[in-house]
Amino acid sequence: MVVSSGLSLSSLFHRVQKGLLKLGAAAMVGVMASVCLILTGFPGSAMAVPTAEELLKALPLSDGEREDVLKGEIVRFTTEEGSDRELALGAVLLVPKVPENLIPLWREAVVFKLVGAVTAFGEISDKATVSDFAGVKLEPKGEDEAKRYLEAEPGDTLNLDGKEIAAFQALKSKGGSQADVETLVRELLLARYQAYRAKGLSGIPPYVRGGEEKFELSQDLLLATNEAKFVPKYFPSFHQTLLNYPANQAKQLETRFFWANVDVFSRPTLILSHRMLFNEGDAYVVVDRHFYASHEYNGLQAIGGALPAKEGSLLVSLYRISTDGVAGFGSSAKHPVARGLMGPYFEEIFEGIRKKAE
pLDDT (tens digit per residue) in 189-214: 999 999 999 999 999 999 999 878 99
Query: Contact 328/313 with Cβ under 8 angstroms?
Result: no
Regarding predicted confidence, which is higher, 56 or 291?
A: 291
Q: For all residues of the chain together, what is the average pLDDT?
A: 84
Regarding predicted confidence, which is higher, 14 or 116?
A: 116
Alpha-carbon gap, residue 279 to 107, rounded angstroms? 14
pLDDT at 55: 82
Whether 182 is covered by a domain: the verdict is no
The dihedral over CA atoms of 179, 184, 187, 193, expressed in degrees to the nearest 10, equals: -110
pLDDT band (50, 70, 90) for residue 34 = very low
Q: How many residues does the chain have?
A: 358
Whether 236 is covered by a domain: the verdict is yes
Least confident of 9-13, 37-41, 249-253, 276-280: 9-13
From the list 148, 90, 145, the residue with the least C-alpha distance to 319 is: 90
From the list 293, 281, 41, 255, the residue with the least C-alpha distance to 160 is: 293
Strands 75-77 and 86-95: what pairing? antiparallel
Mean pLDDT of all residues in 218-245: 92
Could you tell me the residue range of the domain that residue 340 belongs to? 2-117+216-357
Whether 63 is covered by a domain: the verdict is yes
Query: Contact 337/13 with Cβ under 8 angstroms?
Result: yes
Strands 86-95 and 267-280: what pairing? unpaired
From the list 140, 157, 141, 145, the residue with the least C-alpha distance to 184 is: 145
Regarding predicted confidence, which is higher, 78 or 7?
A: 78
From the list 266, 264, 288, the residue with the least C-alpha distance to 276 is: 288
Whether 243 is covered by a domain: the verdict is yes
pLDDT (tens digit per residue) in 221-230: 999 999 988 8
Alpha-carbon gap, residue 195 to 10, rounded angstroms? 40
pLDDT (tens digit per residue) in 333-346: 999 988 887 777 77
Indicate if the pLDDT at residue 129 is higher than 80.
yes
Q: What is the pTM of this model?
A: 0.86
Indicate if the pLDDT at residue 97 is higher than 60.
yes
Give the whole-number percent of the chain exceeding pLDDT 70: 82
Instruction: Mention every residue, 6+ apart, whose C-beta is less than 8 A from residue 237.
Output: 250, 251, 280
Mean pLDDT of all residues in 263-278: 93
Strand partners, 54: none
Residue 26 one-letter amino acid: A
Whether 130 is covered by a domain: the verdict is no
From the list 221, 234, 334, 229, the residue with the least C-alpha distance to 288 is: 221
The helix or strand, by DSSP H or E, that contains position 218, with its residue range, turns out to be: helix 217-227
> What total of structural domains would you count in the chain?
1
| DSSP secondary structure string for all residues of 60-98 | S--HHHHHHHHTT--EEE----SSTTEEEEEEEEEESS-
